Amino acid sequence: MARLVAPIQGRLVRDGRHLTTPYGHDLESPFWQGAEIGFLESGRAAEEAAREVLGRGLVLGVHYPIVQAHAWDWAPFWLAPDAEARRTAQRQARTAMARAAELGASYILFHYPWPALLAPVVDYEAAGWKIPPVAQAAGLWPRARLEETSERILRDLERAGKEHAIRVVLELDGPNAAFFEPEPERDLCSELFAAHPGLDLCVDTGRFGLLARQHGGDPYAYAVRWLEFTGHLHLHGASWDRGANHLPPLPEHEDDPGFVPAAAMARLVLSAHPDALVVLETDLRGCGTEVALRSMRYCASL
């Protein structure tokens, strides 16, 4: 059975016998073995969510930011143009790690790299990306500079994780071509994670599909390539040709070539790492109770 984790954003809402998230996940469901909190509306909401999760004997994880300050507050500004801003990003990460540990979390997840590094004359939004205003031109970050800066950041994250006794997970963001080169011998991601075994990589099934579409790769092949570094999974259905993401995974998606092979990727990760946590990053609003339950049972069986 997969170790399913509920994503908790905004705040939890009590509705009779149900304790639900804004995206329709019920914390009272017997399927959950953990919850990942982040993008909460206040520090109080974070404390309440952590208390509810730990009080049920579930694993608690944190997705940075714990409390969201603004719409594009997704990750520390790791790749800021100036060095002082990059140092500020590392301080923000350490502060968040300390707070996550105080809340009782066993891990904290950050998006990396951030912000997006954009190649010229590419229509990213047409491909499905939501491009933040802080995105930069890839030309500002040649391979050597990107590698040196990333090495320094990941080394600090690995060290800070040990200091705070908390596992650090990095979810690959994008589009940043150096990390997702179709040729395995060239990609920066493999080099960095091989050098830092104290960090876990998060496979996000929907994002891997979008990265593959952007960079000419294959989402399942990416999961295979980075399998040894993976200890975490964000699972959801996605069909980028149809502009659909964060769908509840269903068995019929496996036979539809228009869908990202989310279930196959999940089975791959879980076969190699049976204890990996599987966060169901699904939007259950409007899908109906029957579909939501069928998806939960299906995901638990992967």
CATH of the domain at 270: 3.20.20.150
Cis peptide before 30 (omega within 30 of 0): no
* Higher pLDDT, residue 302 or 133: 302
**217-243 pLDDT tens trace:** 789 999 999 999 999 999 999 988 787
Which of 236, 238, 223 has the alpha carbon at shortest distance from 273?
A: 223
Tell me phi and psi for residue 12, to 5 degrees.
Answer: -80, 145
Host domain of residue 172: 3-301
**231-280 pLDDT tens trace:** 999 999 998 878 788 999 999 999 898 899 999 999 999 999 999 999 99
pLDDT at 184: 59
Query: What gap in Å lies between CA 60 and CA 33, rounded to an integer?
Result: 9
Strands (DSSP E) found in 54-105:
59-63
**45-78 pLDDT tens trace:** 999 999 999 999 999 999 999 999 877 788 999 9
Pairing mode, strands 59-63 and 32-40: parallel
* Higher pLDDT, residue 110 or 181: 110
Which of 237, 294, 232 has the alpha carbon at shortest distance from 262?
A: 237
* Higher pLDDT, residue 182 or 122: 122
Count of structural domains within the chain: 1
pLDDT at 185: 64
The pLDDT of residue 183 is above 80 = no
Tell me phi and psi for residue 56, to 5 degrees.
Answer: -95, 5
What is the reported pTM?
Answer: 0.95
